[in-house]
Amino acid sequence: MLKVYSDNGKFDQVLVVFDYIKCNGIEIDGMTTVHLLALKRADQVDPSIDFLYRMLESNVEVSEYSLSVVVAGLCSNGEIERSRELVEEMVDRGTELSTITFNTMLDACSKIWNFVELDLILGLMEKEGLGYDIHTCRILINGFTSFGKVKEAESLIKEMHDKGLKVETHLYNLLIMLINGCCRACLMFDEMTERNVNQNADTHLAVISGLCKNGEMEKAMKYCNELQNKGIEGGCNVQYLD
């Protein structure tokens, strides 16, 4: 009944069923998450928070999955600060979290360049003893590079290598396209080789573009020829250098 009412948007009836379940000592298990997902699909943010508190008041365990559904709904509506405050409260209540919930909030921050909230969320992660996983790093580097924070992105790539995390080619590409100074771009290109990170057509073209803008056509042709010799798809078009 709870699932049927949820799926059909009869949210008031869900509350009636929930109260019946609680009063009769019926085990709820994961049925509550079904309702939270239905509320998220219907963009019912406040009702989802109210239901979360109803679960707590009824001594129903709030899993990370249930919390992450509500957090995702808040973030989708741009209410990142509110989502962080909710997470902080749930942590204080004893809910154990992984990077999954935090990555949802970090992704929302990076997309709108809200670095104030981003720093607060990273601080909360550190407080909970959670390190960055590869998804965290990807989110942060995308956010830093889209805003032009070259030093922050470069530092994080170094940290990924130090921790043994795989650095994907496109993360280097994002950084190379932003670097001011063709020498640094070439050094970054060489670093990829040293660290066994594959260079693709976008990598070569990012370096070539920087060299061309700096008037270093001979070096640009060197990278263009290397691209063609490697047979990488999307090879250099000579007109690109004109």
Any domain includes 207: yes
57 Cβ partners below 8 Å, 6+ apart?
none
Q: Is the pLDDT of residue 51 over 50?
A: yes
Q: What is the pLDDT of residue 238?
A: 41
- Tokens encoding 5: 């009412």
Any domain includes 25: no
Q: What is the pLDDT of residue 62?
A: 84
Q: What is the pLDDT of residue 241?
A: 44
Residue 235 burial class via C-beta count within 10 angstroms: exposed 0-12, middle 13-18, buried 19 and up: middle
Per-residue confidence at 44, pLDDT binned at 50, 70, 90?
very high
Any domain includes 45: no
Per-residue confidence at 175, pLDDT binned at 50, 70, 90?
confident
Structural domain of 230: 157-234
User: Distance between CA 206 and CA 202 in Å, rounded?
Assistant: 6
Verdict on whether the full-model pTM lies above 0.85: no
- Tokens encoding 141: 């580097």
Any domain includes 196: yes
DSSP codes joined into one string, 112-145:
TT-HHHHHHHHHHHHHTTPPP-HHHHHHHHHHHH
Q: Is the pLDDT of residue 159 over 60?
A: yes
pLDDT in tens, 79-109: 999 999 999 999 998 888 999 999 999 999 9
Q: What is the pLDDT of residue 232?
A: 64
Any domain includes 15: no
Q: What is the largest CA-CA distance in the chain?
A: 80
Any domain includes 111: no
Number of domains in the chain: 1
Q: What is the pLDDT of residue 177?
A: 84
Any domain includes 178: yes
Any domain includes 13: no
